[in-house]
């Protein structure tokens, strides 16, 4: 029976070893890209977003990259959201207590204990900003077993969405030629800040306008800071002054602001006029802070953990907003787990064990924050009431593998539970 991916396409194992979506020396997939943020205007931004809708998202992806590089606040909150998921606990649940299912779950649990996993998941979560991310799996076969050797982030400029449906991802394979992604070769993650096409679902699209307005504000703020507090300098020249005299006077007036010294002919005069300061002088700061708050709301769902506010109720607000943030984190975790189950767990099982009726389930995070002793305590109480619990589920939840035949094992569940409880009490 041939292997098929989730779309029903046949899998060709011989194509899974080599990297196929890397950069090209011929310029097909260049490393260097454009910088559309340079001199960006509202009309140009609107044009970039429209291009992405119509099928050419190259400049949009380049802009999304630059936004992270040039705005520390956006980089900080976006990285916080991605790391909040990438650092969560990962568990593998066997579908049944049968020996074969438990063994397969243990295999997956073992290969996920890779030092680079957290960084690889961080790259997969690049979809939160851009709407979609593609990571290439480079497989290896050792001891007659398929295992991912690397999970490599792919530059989004090297793929596009099929113009026919706006959702199917295609890789650039030849100049002007695009082809479908090789089955079992890629992790394609879609993160939706809103419903609609993937290219319109990333946070970068919504944040782009805030980012542009903030750039204008910072530019004006810097210009204002250069002259703030300095008096107006007015140079007066004699009617008979030549063009050279006027130019020398202008240079003198300009240099006084930075050098605090200048020379002018005796017949010329420089007057200092104190500027009348009316209105608020922190308008640029307030605008910039407001835009940062809106950006935080869009990325984290709250502002309390990123902005210092005055007034009462900060603790209560922080507790409410922390809950909103947890909701977003849990939704991101569930979406990522679904992607990994489809594009990583199932291909691993099919390549090593053939198609199965039921597959192990990868779960990211847990619905509670219970400690180990509490988890064991609740399980013991549940069993004491006469309820039946699958041993594989307990092991999966706690991250324990099935012990080998000759392995040294703990003999009494209750005794060990009491030991753990006593140890936890001693340490507070």
Regarding predicted confidence, which is higher, 173 or 360?
360
Asked if residues 184 and 137 have their Cβ atoms less than 8 Å apart, the reply is yes
What rounded mean pLDDT belongs to the chain? 82
User: Distance between CA 42 and CA 151 in Å, rounded?
Assistant: 37
Average pLDDT over residues 290-302: 89
Provide the greatest CA pair distance for the chain: 109
Helix, strand, coil shares of the chain as percentages rounded to 5?
50, 15, 40
Say yes or no to pLDDT of 184 above 90.
yes
Q: Can you list the alpha helix ranges (DSSP code H) found in 162-282?
A: 203-227, 243-259
Say yes or no to pLDDT of 194 above 50.
yes
Say yes or no to pLDDT of 193 above 80.
yes
The 10s digit of each residue's pLDDT in 368-378 is 555 566 777 77
pLDDT band at 59 (very low <50, low <70, confident <90, very high): very high
User: Distance between CA 32 and CA 135 in Å, rounded?
Assistant: 19
Rounded alpha-carbon distances, angstroms, from residue 406 to 98, 403, 409: 19, 8, 9
Average pLDDT over residues 110-135: 93
Average pLDDT over residues 15-39: 83
pLDDT value at residue 312? 47
User: Distance between CA 41 and CA 246 in Å, rounded?
Assistant: 36
User: Distance between CA 305 and CA 351 in Å, rounded?
Assistant: 45
pLDDT band at 170 (very low <50, low <70, confident <90, very high): very high
pLDDT band at 29 (very low <50, low <70, confident <90, very high): confident
């Amino acid at each position: 029976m041939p292997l098929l991916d989730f779309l029903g396409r046949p899998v060709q194992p011989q194509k899974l070893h080599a990297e196929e979506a890397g950069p090209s020396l011929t310029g097909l997939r260049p490393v260097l890209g454009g910088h559309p943020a340079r001199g960006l205007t509202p009309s140009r931004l609107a044009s970039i977003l429209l291009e992405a809708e119509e099928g050419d998202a190259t400049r949009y992806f380049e802009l999304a990259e630059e936004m992270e590089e040039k705005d520390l606040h956006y980089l900080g909150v976006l990285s916080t959201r991605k790391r909040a998921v990438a650092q969560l606990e990962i568990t593998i649940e066997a579908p049944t207590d049968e020996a074969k299912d438990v063994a397969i779950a243990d295999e997956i649990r073992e290969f996920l204990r890779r030092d680079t996993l957290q960084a690889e998941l961080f790259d997969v979560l690049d979809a939160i900003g851009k709407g979609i991310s593609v990571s290439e799996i480079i497989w290896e076969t050792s001891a007659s077993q398929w295992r991912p050797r690397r999970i490599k982030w792919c530059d989004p400029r090297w793929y596009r969405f099929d113009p026919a449906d706006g959702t199917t991802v295609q890789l650039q394979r030849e100049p002007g030629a695009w082809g479908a992604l090789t089955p079992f070769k890629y992790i394609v993650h879609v993160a939706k800040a809103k419903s609609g096409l993937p290219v319109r679902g990333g946070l970068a699209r919504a944040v782009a306008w805030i980012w542009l307005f903030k750039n204008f504000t910072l530019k004006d703020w810097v210009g204002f800071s250069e002259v703030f507090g300095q008096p107006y300098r007015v140079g007066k020249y004699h009617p008979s002054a030549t063009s050279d005299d006027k130019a020398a006077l202008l240079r003198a007036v300009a240099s006084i602001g930075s050098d605090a010294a200048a020379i002018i002919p005796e017949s010329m005069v420089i007057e200092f006029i104190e500027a009348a300061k009316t209105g608020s002088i922190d308008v640029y700061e307030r605008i910039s802070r407001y835009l940062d708050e809106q950006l935080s709301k869009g990325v984290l769902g709250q502002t309390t953990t990123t902005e210092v506010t005055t007034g009462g109720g900060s603790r209560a607000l922080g507790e409410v907003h922390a809950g909103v943030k947890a909701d977003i984190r849990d939704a991101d975790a569930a979406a990522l787990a679904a992607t990994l189950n489809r594009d990583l767990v199932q291909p691993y099982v099919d390549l090593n064990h053939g198609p199965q009726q039921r597959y192990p389930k990868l779960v990211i995070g847990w619905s509670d924050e219970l400690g180990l002793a509490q988890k064991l305590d609740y399980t013991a109480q549940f069993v004491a009431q006469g309820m039946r619990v699958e041993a594989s589920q307990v092991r999966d939840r706690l991250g324990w593998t099935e012990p080998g035949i000759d392995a040294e094992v703990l003999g009494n569940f209750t005794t060990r539970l009491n030991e753990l409880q006593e140890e936890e009490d001693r340490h507070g």
